[in-house]
Amino acid sequence: MVSSATTRAGRPLRMQAARGEVLTVADGDDATLEIISPRHGVRPVGGRRTLLPATLHINTVDVAAELLASGRYHTLVVPLGTLKWITVALGDRGVSPASFGLRAIGTTGYPVTRHARRWIEPLWHAPLFDNWSMSELRGYAHPCRGCGYGHWHGAPTWFELQNTTRNVGELIATMLLPHGERMPLIRYRTGDLMERGPLCARTGTRGLRFRGRLASSLPGRVLSRDLLEVTEATPDIAMEPHPVEVLGIQRPCDIGVPKARIRGDTIEVELRYDPARFAARAREVEVAIRAACLRRTEIALMAPGTLDFRREARKL
């Protein structure tokens, strides 16, 4: 079986849990505000965690700001797309995110690029932790302060890498008892390409780092994570508007998905201008992409409106 994220519908696989199989995450010392995408449903929480579903309404920002301003919360867990939207909206209101005094922000959804980190961390005065998780598995991989790679926290699961090239391969997951009694996943192809880390001195295990989706990468040549890194940092490249921009909830603010993808053996990139009219600048963009990706890959620079990334922009 292949991860539901690779299907045309892109809906999470609804896992059936046996009685008493609900995963509870141990609360730390910090009270946590967790903002989730409604596409994942509402999960039971307790202890020092507060759950806030992110909806496409300006009240999402207002409620989040009110909760964070209370001073109760020291940690925020939030989809990266929603965090970008809230950051821009708070700036428009003249509110400094640093005033909330957060100690850490854990992100989900899209990977955190170096460009996003340089923008967001100084505004919030808090470090970003790029978490990896799947709807099908109860738990998450949290980046380690020691080795920098993600270690799994959650239901017992056996992970392995398949077709490894340069220490990167597709992650395969198998549920271990008592997890998955009612709906077990055995050698489940996640569709995620992960890099295996070194032996961690703190945990005695090897962590993993997300490097992209198998369906949108050329393993051994170009990984979708590397393509995202360069395209999000290049202002010439067009972005599919975020849903809050499309609906007019938030002014246009370039927080959407860069319109670049791998199709066949070619990297397709949509520019904000016709590359034929600004040929010299277009060549500079191509050079920048080639510097981040392998040179033998074809790059097709396209005029505005060529690529449709509406599906990729659905995540909050």
**Number of H-type helices and E-type strands within the chain:** 6, 16
Residue 153 has pLDDT above 50, yes or no: yes
Give the single-character DSSP code of 133. Answer: -
Q: Domain boundaries in the chain?
A: 24-130, 142-214, 224-314
Whether the full predicted model's pTM is greater than 0.85, yes or no, is yes
Residue 218 has pLDDT above 60, yes or no: yes
Rounded Cα–Cα distance for residues 190 and 134 (Å): 8
**Residue 295's pLDDT is what?**
63
Half-sphere exposure of 221 (CA within 13 A, CB side): 13
The CATH label, of 3.40.47.10, 3.40.50.980, 2.60.40.10, 3.40.50.10860, for the domain at 24-130 is 3.40.50.980
Q: Which pLDDT tens digit goes with each residue over 83-120?
A: 999 999 999 999 999 999 999 999 998 899 999 999 99
> In degrees to the nearest 10, what's the CA dihedral of 148, 173, 191, 42?
-80
| Beta strands at 128-130 and 239-240: parallel, antiparallel or unpaired | unpaired
Q: Which pLDDT tens digit goes with each residue over 2-52?
A: 565 544 445 667 777 776 665 555 445 678 998 987 765 555 566 688 888
- The mean pLDDT value of the chain amounts to 88
**Residue 235's pLDDT is what?**
96
Rounded Cα–Cα distance for residues 134 and 149 (Å): 17
